[in-house]
């Protein structure tokens, strides 16, 4: 063995030898005290029992190993505890970060949805055609109404009163809201070419009370469709008598007509170019044709529509079917 190795062994055991020497010294002192006691007090035991307090080098090494093992275990426990706390802290941070990301993603999704909804509403508004608008898009819509037989005199690109009447008549036939606004639903129905069908065939006039439209029929085909307003079913008083604003259903014929303005015999207002088909009930022009029943019993159409009906004919004897 070389000198370096010898020095390492010597240095490594110095602590053990020193500790052993201290214990031997303590043991010797105890032995001397015991021997003195034994001299003072006779005993049957041998004086060599005091030597049992001396710890051998092997026992000392074993005790030191046990101490080192205990310290190592304590250090390992401290490291494990520290690692567990660090892992818990990391997990909490990750959970908080994940929650923050989820909140941010939810907020971003909500903002995106709101933006998409606003954009869709804006596009829908831009796609709507309303009363008073002008332009090529209005002219295209007017031309389509003309193709389908809804009364528009000319596709002039101006959304005026006559075009409004045609749009409302179309919406009634298509079963849409009767607001005169050409939105996506109305445009789709226009593209699909929704038209009414004659119930009676032949040639004449049909009034559909349910949909509030007047149809001009030639040889079983509807050639013109007009917005109309019939009796509202309400009670009213005229010249001291009570009446109900009812439009009777049935099949009639035109039996009287006045080519001009006529005042109602019940003081109910003026009738433009009326064509009577039963009693005092007539198809006549009026400046007010709402999208719902509003008359005292007659069939109101616009003055422009009444002019067209006169130009078409509807002479005395023309069938008028009301249903």
Write down the pLDDT at residue 120. Answer: 72
Q: Are 205 and 213 in contact (CB under 8 A)?
A: no
Whether residue 300 sits in one domain with residue 210? yes
Tell whether 53 is covered by a domain. no
Tell me, what CATH number does 172's domain have? 1.10.101.10
Is the domain of 211 the same as that of 257? yes
Does residue 218 sit in the same domain as residue 238? yes
When mean pLDDT is compared across 34-48, 112-126, 231-245, 277-291, the lowest value belongs to 34-48
232 & 290 share domain: yes
Residues 6+ apart with CB under 8 A from 210: 323
The whole-angstrom separation of Cα 165 and Cα 145 is 11
Among 1-10, 158-167, 239-248, 284-293, the minimum mean pLDDT is found in 1-10
* β-sheet bridge partners, residue 5: none
pLDDT attached to residue 124:
61
Q: What is the mean pLDDT of the chain?
A: 86
What average pLDDT score do residues 15-35 get? 43
172-197 residue pLDDT tens: 999 999 999 999 999 999 999 999 99
Last residue of a domain, which of 192, 215, 230? Answer: 192
Q: Which residues form the domain of 150?
A: 136-192
Q: Are residues 210 and 316 in the same domain?
A: yes
Based on the residue annotation, tell me whether 298 is a catalytic residue of this protein.
Answer: yes
Same-domain pairing of 179 and 253: no
Q: Is residue 7 part of a domain?
A: no
- Asked whether the predicted pLDDT for residue 293 surpasses 80, the reply is yes
- Judge whether 284 counts as a catalytic residue: yes
70: pLDDT strictly greater than 80: yes
Residue 291 lies in a domain: yes
Whether residues 208 and 140 share a domain: the answer is no
Angle of helix 3-40 relative to helix 57-127, nearest 10 degrees, comes to: 120
CATH for 221: 2.40.440.10
DSSP run (H or E) holding 22: helix 3-40
160/249 same-domain check = no
Q: Are residues 160 and 217 in the same domain?
A: no
Question: How far lies 233's CA from each of 174, 211, 229, 293, in Å?
Answer: 24, 15, 12, 8
Own/partner pairs, 134-138, CB within 8 angstroms, 24+ separation: 134/158, 134/159, 138/163
Residues 219, 140 share a domain:
no
**Co-location of 258 and 160 in the same domain:** no
Range in 56-60, 181-185, 293-297 the model is least confident about: 56-60
Rounded to whole angstroms, the Cα distance separating 148 from 186 reads 13
Whether 187 and 217 map to the same domain: the answer is no
Total tally of structural domains belonging to the chain: 2
Residue 77 lies in a domain: no
Identify whether 78 is part of a domain.
Answer: no
**DSSP symbol at 47:** G
Query: Residue 94's pLDDT band (boundaries 50, 70, 90)?
Result: very high
Position 1 in a domain: no
218, part of any domain: yes
The answer to whether residue 267 sits within a structural domain is yes
């Amino acid at each position: 063995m070389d000198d370096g190795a010898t020095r390492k062994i010597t240095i490594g055991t110095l602590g053990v030898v020193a500790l052993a020497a201290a214990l031997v010294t303590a043991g010797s002192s105890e032995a001397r005290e015991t021997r003195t006691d034994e001299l003072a007090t006779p005993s049957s035991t041998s004086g060599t029992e005091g030597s049992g307090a001396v710890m051998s080098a092997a026992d000392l090494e074993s005790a030191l190993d046990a101490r080192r093992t205990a310290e190592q275990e304590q250090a390992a426990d401290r490291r494990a505890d520290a690692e567990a706390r660090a892992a818990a802290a990391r997990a909490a941070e990750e959970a908080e970060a994940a929650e923050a990301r989820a909140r941010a993603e939810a907020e971003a999704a909500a903002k995106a949805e709101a933006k998409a909804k606003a954009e869709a509403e804006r596009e829908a508004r831009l796609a709507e055609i309303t009363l008073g608008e002008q332009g090529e898009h209005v002219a295209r819509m007017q031309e389509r109404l003309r193709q389908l037989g809804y009364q528009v005199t000319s596709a002039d690109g101006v959304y005026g009163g006559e075009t409004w009447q045609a749009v409302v008549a179309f919406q009634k036939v298509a079963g849409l809201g009767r607001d005169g606004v050409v939105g996506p639903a109305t445009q789709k129905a226009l593209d699909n070419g929704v038209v009414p069908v004659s119930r009676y065939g032949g040639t004449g006039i049909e009034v559909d009370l349910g949909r509030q439209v007047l149809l001009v029929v030639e040889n079983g085909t509807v050639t013109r469709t007009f917005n109309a307003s019939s009796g509202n079913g309400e009670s009213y008083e005229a010249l001291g008598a009570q009446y109900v604003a009812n439009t009777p259903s049935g099949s009639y014929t035109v039996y009287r007509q006045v080519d001009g303005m006529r005042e109602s015999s019940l003081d109910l207002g003026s009738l433009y170019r009326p064509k009577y088909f039963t009693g005092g009930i007539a198809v006549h022009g009026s400046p007010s044709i709402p999208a719902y029943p509003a008359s005292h019993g007659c069939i109101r159409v616009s003055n422009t529509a009444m002019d067209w009906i006169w130009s078409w004919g509807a002479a005395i004897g023309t069938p008028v079917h009301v249903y």
